[in-house]
Structure 1
């Protein structure tokens, strides 16, 4: 992975000049989105549209992967980025959750407006050490803080960070939109605030999401899943689909996703889909409402946020689905971003301008 980076400063300065005009555009987008935050689904659609307007053509993407390694990252651990076998460990805890019953109780809340100064948040993940990482595209920033909102730090991004996935306790992979250029996946060390690697992925769409599986990154493109090998340069595997995937989430040997909404009839929009590596085929299950965001729990079951504001609990074998009984808990209703950390046994769910942090029931 080591690559000479002489002239890195000059390169970054050049990138910075190219995106100076981006801030005004993103601010206009943010104005549109912020005016509609009361409608969760509209807000999510505006966010996707914002990123899609920033995306550009892929005609100049002959070079598949470009790497920028920091000169001081010379240790063996820096040369080989390892993704822990997260999804394989989920099922070793012996937890088995009763389908449809509340598994978590609200433990903490954060007011997001004050945390990001009114910025647009497009993705949130919790790391194994409990820290939270936010994508704030209109501020070209990754924001990091403790779960109580303390010790706020930020990393400036040369572009708009749309979505992220943790690699380990210090490294995150981020889908970044760059004006007049193809989209990139960039790896950042959030402790040193340095970029470790930049990967150009032809055809990648920012609205598809990003996930990890067995030292590989999973992203999406037009009617395709794209699998990026972190350890082999220029290796990008394409899995062709009959739809453009969104809300990508990898768990075990499966990649879950939903249909991109444009042009689909109602039943197609309601389908939770997954690609299974053992069978190398796509399967699906129709839910009672359109899936919106997907995460997996310790026992391998899924929580799926839906368009109607409910949470669907899908069994580990994917055969059974029940609506989570929220007991009228506002914290569990109407969310638009959800993610789960197995090591912390903690789930985060954004509901409008509040981030709710849930702990497992003992």
Structure 2
């Protein structure tokens, strides 16, 4: 009898201690409901590293312009350049015409230049110090250490490769009528996604879902759902040049009509971005968002860095 009473007393005390936690959760839900936003609890999304993830309305002002710079090493840049920003704040800009990769700090200072021996197509961040570049004509992916300015690994494929992005610890590569999921450490192909008659030329990912475009004249943005394995598409006002995923899973797409379109995370709706510095970009090709830095970087005739509100 004494043991049973002790167990009941312990249960009551545990329940009472849990009341503040329940109240805190209810207050948080009420706060987000009043703001008209969606609450994503910590730990639910592995890509946020324990941070709460915001949810945006399409077209809302998410960023403000922080810095714009054009330096001598970039003066030979051409529209269509690809840009990425690493977790430690380095900006890498891929120049197709001059076959080189230029490295900057986000304050605009030029860190270094890596000459490329082969013609590249796309680039993505692998980790703080490494970026991966696709080389379609050679059916391979080169991984460079941007700190040491040298190639550290080359992944040979059996097919041409075009667009590339990163999903967690894997590379997502657009190839001839399929997308490959590759472990950059072992170079093993972990999964293959059939994309029909289309070859993904630009990609971005979030929580297993993949957005991609095909060809240079197509206005469609495709969405592969990791949940049901279905592929859907939405037609944009003009063809896309580059894209990046924001922290809520929605996508910024640069189109060749100089606009940035904000596409919903399910790939069904979009709205033009009117943020200063993004409403009319001119001859701009590359865009990339880094959730660790909370920065957006856009490149073309110059490099523009945006901070998140």
TM class by shorter-chain length?
0.7 to 0.9
Partner of 2:166, secondary structure, is strand
Contact 1:224 1:244 in 2 (8 A): yes
Contact 1:290 1:307 in 2 (8 A): yes
Aligned to 1:240: 194
Q: How much does 1:175 deviate?
A: 1.5
Aligned to 2:74: 116
Contact 2:260 2:273 in 1 (8 A): yes
Structure with higher strand content: 2
* Distance of aligned partners of 1:330 and 1:163 in 2 relative to their CA distance in 1, 3 Å threshold: closer
RMSD value, Cα: 2.6
Aligned partners of 1:291 and 1:298: how far apart in 2? 20
Partner of 1:129, secondary structure, is coil
Aligned partners of 2:100 and 2:261: how far apart in 1? 32
Q: How much does 1:201 deviate?
A: 1.5
Partner of 2:48, secondary structure, is helix
The correspondence for 1:276, drawn from 225, 242, 254, is 225
Q: How much does 1:233 deviate?
A: 4.5
- Please list the CA deviations of residues 3-46 of structure 1 after superposition, one character each: whole Å capped at 9, or x if unmatched: xxxxxxxxxxxxxxxxxxxxxxxxxxxxxxxxxxxxxxxxxxxx
Aligned partners of 1:311 and 1:331: how far apart in 2? 7
Correspondence 1:5-154 to 2 at 5 A: 88-89=47-48, 92-111=51-70, 114-120=72-78, 122-154=81-113
Aligned partners of 1:146 and 1:286: how far apart in 2? 36
Q: How much does 1:144 deviate?
A: 1.1
Contact 1:258 1:292 in 2 (8 A): no
- Please list the CA deviations of residues 310-344 of structure 1 after superposition, one character each: whole Å capped at 9, or x if unmatched: 111122343432211246x4774333211111111
Residue 175, structure 1, aligned to residue 175, structure 2: no
Residue 305, structure 1, aligned to residue 254, structure 2: yes
* Distance of aligned partners of 1:325 and 1:122 in 2 relative to their CA distance in 1, 3 Å threshold: closer
Q: How much does 1:125 deviate?
A: 0.7
Aligned to 1:220: 174
Aligned partners of 1:91 and 1:286: how far apart in 2? 35
Aligned partners of 1:340 and 1:161: how far apart in 2? 21
Aligned partners of 1:137 and 1:319: how far apart in 2? 32
Contact 2:273 2:279 in 1 (8 A): no
- Please list the CA deviations of residues 89-139 of structure 1 after superposition, one character each: whole Å capped at 9, or x if unmatched: 189433222321221111100115x23341446311111121111112343
Aligned partners of 1:355 and 1:192: how far apart in 2? 23
Aligned partners of 1:239 and 1:129: how far apart in 2? 31
Q: Scaled by the length of structure 1, what TM-score is found?
A: 0.65
Structure 1 gaps, min length 5: 1-85, 263-268
Contact 1:123 1:163 in 2 (8 A): yes
Q: How much does 1:355 deviate?
A: 1.6
Q: How much does 1:257 deviate?
A: 0.6
Aligned to 2:160: 204
Structure 2 gaps, min length 5: 1-44
The structure with the larger Rg is 2
* Distance of aligned partners of 1:288 and 1:158 in 2 relative to their CA distance in 1, 3 Å threshold: closer
Contact 2:74 2:302 in 1 (8 A): no
Aligned length: 262
Q: How much does 1:295 deviate?
A: 0.9
- Please list the CA deviations of residues 225-265 of structure 1 after superposition, one character each: whole Å capped at 9, or x if unmatched: 12222244553643222312221112211111112146xxx
- Please list the CA deviations of residues 46-69 of structure 1 after superposition, one character each: whole Å capped at 9, or x if unmatched: xxxxxxxxxxxxxxxxxxxxxxxx
Structure with higher helix content: 1
